[in-house]
Chains A and B, each alone.
Chain A
């Protein structure tokens, strides 16, 4: 059976709808970078092994390199370009800037998108592999440095900025908790 291998899709990115023809092989990552000129989302490995391409899909973090664009139709896509409030940086962005939570900056958009989701996942009571007791009776784990490290481990940083990344996530989580 011959299948159509391309189609016209509508992607909702940062609240805006974009209609574009795509080869079904096009990943969401390539659609963002090559077709929509949203190059803040980075390609580090293209195989789901580094996290540089992390975006939010329906509010949850995901690696856009393993997400086919055609399969992202109908979902709310948020990229690094869409997380700030106009000129006002998202608290996570501000913390990365202030605490030098990066060096070359290439993994940074993915780290920031991931961190935004980590703070929400934690607020929702999700346990992690660093949580000593995952049973609901144990209550939600505090967002310790070890919890942040584990939850942020899907975002590799080759420059070795993890120490300040953890501090930035903690500071942003505190700021949001206080807000």
Chain B
């Protein structure tokens, strides 16, 4: 870890002034910055500590959604009664991530900016196109059991590790940010960039931008939502496949459905094809399976990650079936 400056800031303009330095990083909980600094993956010259910015509130919006400040901790997000009531899958997703200690430290803004846990990315002695553009992707011919099946490229097959973002993707979250030139916003669907040949460029945030919060639009369907995560131990592990699902069924037909997948792509994967196929159709396990197959038809598997296709498909069918059965009760 190189030597670095440290600046604690108390308002957004100050944060932006310090954050304009291209070698600066905003420090939230530090749970995915300090570790990368220790391993030499990231080497900032200045840390701008944003934890004390007045961005730590969760408020209802006039339209019936929620506005979540960027420095809200994962713990406070998951414990908030309105999050649990209106978007239970979001609370579940956050609770499925990391550990109690890390959730107390980690912030919503930082969670969105988590880096991949690909073992080649985190080992600075290995080539990695995300870390050193042009150095190659050893995962493709090497260890890729937990790598992407959707939206990857020949340059990078890493997956995004966030659970929270998967639920946010399902609920059409919008990311708000500030820059020296004024505020901006990005729908989550546009927040993460496609991998293409630039895997080192991960988000559409302008340089120096500070995430200030997220808004969740009202989504009555989200009240009947859940998140399931499969991993290689029962807790305190990253997903090998996860699904956020919400379902509104009336008279056996799907009125509205939301589906997003985790640990299958470089970003949370909103399953819009599956949603399109299902909407208006019968709420049956067969239909759910067909919809999952439609979405996963685009999957490109490597020798050791093809199981993810079956895993995600099975999760979709199981979760939607359960939601449909509960709705019928």
Name A's B-contacting residues (CB within 8 A): 1, 3-7, 23-25, 27, 46-48, 51, 54, 57, 60-63, 65-68, 70-71, 114, 117-118, 121, 124-129, 131, 133-137, 149-151, 153-156
Q: Which residue of A lies closest to B235 (CB)?
A: A153
- A25 pairs with B78, CB closer than 8 A: no
- A7 pairs with B6, CB closer than 8 A: yes
What is the distance, in angstroms, from B240's C-beta to the closest C-beta of chain A?
A: 16
B46 within 8 A of A: yes
Contacts A48-B31, A66-B34, A136-B84 given: A54-B5 contact, CB under 8 Å?
no
**Bound Cα distance A94, B9 (Å):** 42
Contacts of A153 in B (CB 8 A): 99, 234-236
- A134 pairs with B99, CB closer than 8 A: no
Q: Which residue of B lies closest to A6 (CB)?
A: B3
Other-chain contact of B34, A23, A27, A131, A156 (Cβ < 8 Å): A27
B253 within 8 A of A: no
**Bound Cα distance A62, B98 (Å):** 12
Contacts A134-B92, A153-B99 given: A127-B4 contact, CB under 8 Å?
no
Contacts A/B (CB < 8 Å), 10 sampled: A3-B6, A24-B3, A24-B47, A25-B3, A48-B34, A57-B105, A60-B104, A62-B101, A136-B84, A151-B100
**Bound Cα distance A4, B45 (Å):** 10
Other-chain contact of A129, B47, B75, B235 (Cβ < 8 Å): B235
**Bound Cα distance A1, B17 (Å):** 12
Other-chain contact of B6, A51, A61, A63, A68 (Cβ < 8 Å): A68
- B92 pairs with A62, CB closer than 8 A: no
Contacts of A137 in B (CB 8 A): 85
Q: CB-CB contacts of B44-55 with A at 8 A, as 1s and 0s?
A: 011101010000
B21 within 8 A of A: yes
What is the distance, in angstroms, from A27's C-beta to the closest C-beta of chain B?
A: 7
- A1 pairs with B101, CB closer than 8 A: no
B287 within 8 A of A: no
- B35 pairs with A66, CB closer than 8 A: yes
- A118 pairs with B105, CB closer than 8 A: no
**Bound Cα distance A4, B72 (Å):** 29
Q: CB-CB contacts of B75-108 with A at 8 A, as 1s and 0s?
A: 1001101001100100110011011111011000
Other-chain contact of B95, A65, A67, A134 (Cβ < 8 Å): A134
Name B's A-contacting residues (CB within 8 A): 1, 3-8, 21, 27, 29-31, 34-35, 38-39, 45-47, 49, 51, 75, 78-79, 81, 84-85, 88, 91-92, 95-96, 98-102, 104-105, 234-236
Contacts of A150 in B (CB 8 A): 234-235
Q: Which residue of A lies closest to B8 (CB)?
A: A71
**Bound Cα distance A3, B21 (Å):** 11
What is the distance, in angstroms, from A90's C-beta to the closest C-beta of chain B?
A: 18
Contacts A1-B21, A24-B4, A127-B78 given: A71-B99 contact, CB under 8 Å?
no
Other-chain contact of B92, A4, A129, A136, A151 (Cβ < 8 Å): A129
Contacts of A125 in B (CB 8 A): 79
**Bound Cα distance A137, B282 (Å):** 30
6 cross-chain pairs, A with B, having the tightest CB-CB distances, nearest first: A3-B5, A154-B99, A153-B235, A5-B3, A136-B81, A129-B95
Other-chain contact of B84, A4, A47, A114, A135 (Cβ < 8 Å): A135
**Bound Cα distance A66, B37 (Å):** 10
Other-chain contact of A48, B51, B96, B102 (Cβ < 8 Å): B102
Given contacts A6-B3, A51-B101, A67-B34, 19 further A-B contacts (CB under 8 A): A4-B5, A23-B3, A27-B34, A46-B38, A47-B35, A48-B34, A60-B104, A61-B100, A62-B105, A66-B30, A71-B8, A114-B101, A126-B78, A128-B95, A134-B84, A136-B81, A153-B236, A154-B98, A154-B236
